[in-house]
Amino acid sequence: MNSEDLIASLSQDLRPVSRHALGERLGQGVIAGGLITLVAVVFWLGIRPDLMPAMLGATFWLKWTYTISLAICASAAAMRLARPDGTAGGWLRLMALPVLGLALIAGIELAMTPSTQWLDMWLGNSWTICSRNVFLLALPIFAGLLWSYRRLAPTRLALAGTSAGMAAGAWGATLYCLHCPETSALFVLTWYSLGMAGAALLGRLLGPYLLRW
Amino acid sequence: MRDDDNRLRALMLAGLAGDGGAHASLLRALLPPLRSFFRRRLGGRDDDVEDLVQETLIAVHTRRATYDPGRPFGAWVYAIARYKLIDRYRRSGRTTALDDLPELADEFAFDDASDARSDVDRLLETIPEKQAAVLRATRIEGLSTAEAAERLGIGESDVKVSAHRGLKALAARVKDSLR
C-alpha cells in the first residue's frame, strides 16, 4: 500500500482518545486479572474464616500495607514504561522502602521473641506453599497486564515485563492475604517477597518476547 | 525545532480529540522526517525504508493513547521510530539489546544532531561489539569507568583496555576513509 493511502485509511472515522486512556487500559487489565485471582482465592484456597476479626487487628493491615505499597510502586513503573519514551522514574527503586520497613519490624519482632521460637515464626504453618500460591495468584493479573500492553507501546521490554510481573505479584499477594492466616512480619518478608520476586522474574524473562509490537 | 514540535503537537492533540483532518496532516508531516531517519540508518534499501515508515505511522496511530500531552511530541515519535528500527534489526538477526541503547533525545530528533549521531553509530558498528559498548558508555553517555564496568558486567581494567583499543580502531577506520 502506498503511504498516502495508508494515511487516508488511518484518518478515516477517527475515534477520539481520552486523556486517561492509558491508565484505564492498564486498570482494566489489572482488574480483569484480579477478579480471576479473587475467584481463585475464594473457591480454591478459601477465605480465612477469621477474616473479619483479623481485619480489626494490626497484623492484617501491616501485610496489606506491605503488599499494596509494593503494588502501587510496581504499577506506577509499569504505567510509565507503557509509553515509548517512558522510564521507570525511580518507582522500582522506591520499592526498597516497604521492604526495609518490614525488615525493621521483623527485626523488632525477633528481638521480642525468644530465639527458640524464631524458626516457627519464620516458617509459620504454610511456608512450603506460600510463595507458590502468591506466584500462581499473580498469573491471571500478569496476563491481564499483558493484554493491556498489547495496545500500548513499551520499548524497554525487559524492564516493562519486570514491572508488570512485580505489579501482578504484589496485587496477587494482596488478595492472598484474604486467605493466608500467617501473622509474623518475618514470614511475610520472606515468603511473600519470594513469590512476588518469582512473578517479577517471570515478567523479566517473558517481557522481551511477549511485549513486542 | 521547538516550533516544529509545537505545530506537530497541536495536530496530535486535535487528532486525539477526534479531528481526522488534523490526524492526516500530522501523519503526512511525519513522512519526510521518518523517511530520512530510516534511510540514514538502513543505507538505501528503499523498500525497507517505506516499510518501516508505514509501520511507524500505524504505531503512531494505533498507540496514540501512549502520548503524554505534557511532553515533547518529537521524543515520542522518535522513540517509536527507534523501537521499530531496533525490532527490524533484531528480526534480521542483528543483536541490539534495547535496554543498552543510549538515552532518548528529548528534542524532535530528526535533525542534524541525529545525522552526526548516525555517523558515530555507523563507525561504532565497524569495531568489535564490546569495544563499541564501552565507548558508548564512557565517551557518549559519559559514565565513569566503574559505572561502565558495572553496566556491562566486565572488569574495570577490561573497560580501560577496550576503550583504548576501540579508540585506536576507530582512528584507523577514520584515517582509512579519508585516504
Domain count for chain A, please give it: 1
CA B176 from chain center: how many Å? Answer: 26
- CA gap B48, B60 in Å, rounded: 18
State which of B67, B101, B135 marks the end of a domain. B101
Mean pLDDT of chain A: 95
Q: Which domain holds residue B87?
A: 2-101
Asked if the C-beta of B154 comes within 8 angstroms of chain A's C-beta atoms, the answer is no
Let me know whether B94 and B10 are in one domain.
yes
pLDDT tens profile B66-108: 999 999 999 999 999 999 999 988 887 655 444 444 443 433 4
Asked if the C-beta of B68 comes within 8 angstroms of chain A's C-beta atoms, the answer is yes
Most distant CA atoms of chain A, gap in Å: 77
Asked if the C-beta of A83 comes within 8 angstroms of chain B's C-beta atoms, the answer is yes
Let me know whether B73 and B28 are in one domain.
yes
Domain contains B44: yes
- CA gap A57, A183 in Å, rounded: 10
CATH number of the domain where residue B41 is located: 1.10.1740.10
| Residue B159, pLDDT score | 86
- CA gap B48, B42 in Å, rounded: 8
- How many other CB atoms are there within 10 angstroms of residue B174's CB atom? 11
Domain count for chain B, please give it: 2
How many Å lie between the alpha carbon of B157 and the closest alpha carbon of chain A? Answer: 29
Identify which of A68, A10, A12, A35 has the alpha carbon closest to the alpha carbon of residue A144. Answer: A35
| Residue B139, pLDDT score | 75
Domain contains A12: no
pLDDT tens profile A155-187: 999 999 999 999 999 999 999 999 999 989 999
Identify the helix (H) or strand (E) that includes residue B108: none
Q: Which domain holds residue A123?
A: 22-46+54-210
Question: b/e for A107-141, b at 16 or more Cβ within 10 A?
Answer: eebbeeeeeeeeeebbbbebeeebbebbbbbbbbb
- Percent of chain B at pLDDT > 70 equals 80
Indicate if the pLDDT at residue A198 is higher than 70: yes
Which of A6, A25, A159 faces B57 most closely, judged by CB atoms? A6
State which of B37, B68, B101 marks the end of a domain. B101
Domain contains A107: yes
State ipTM. 0.87
Residue with C-alpha cell 521473641? A113
- Percent of chain B at pLDDT > 90 equals 35
pLDDT band for position B118 (cuts 50, 70, 90): low
Let me know whether B163 and B92 are in one domain.
no
Indicate if the pLDDT at residue B109 is higher than 50: no
Q: Could you tell me if A207 and A168 are in contact, meaning their C-beta atoms sit under 8 angstroms apart?
A: no
- R_g of chain B, CA atoms, integer Å: 18
Domain contains B118: no
How many Å lie between the alpha carbon of B88 and the closest alpha carbon of chain A? Answer: 11
Q: A16-25, A50-59, B78-87, B136-145: which range is least confident on average?
A: B136-145
Asked if the C-beta of A112 comes within 8 angstroms of chain B's C-beta atoms, the answer is no
For B152, the grid coordinates are 556491562
Asked if the C-beta of B45 comes within 8 angstroms of chain A's C-beta atoms, the answer is no
CATH number of the domain where residue B149 is located: 1.10.10.10
Let me know whether B47 and B84 are in one domain.
yes
B73, closest residue in chain A (CA to CA): A85
B79–A152 CB contact, under 8 Å? no
B63–A151 CB contact, under 8 Å? yes
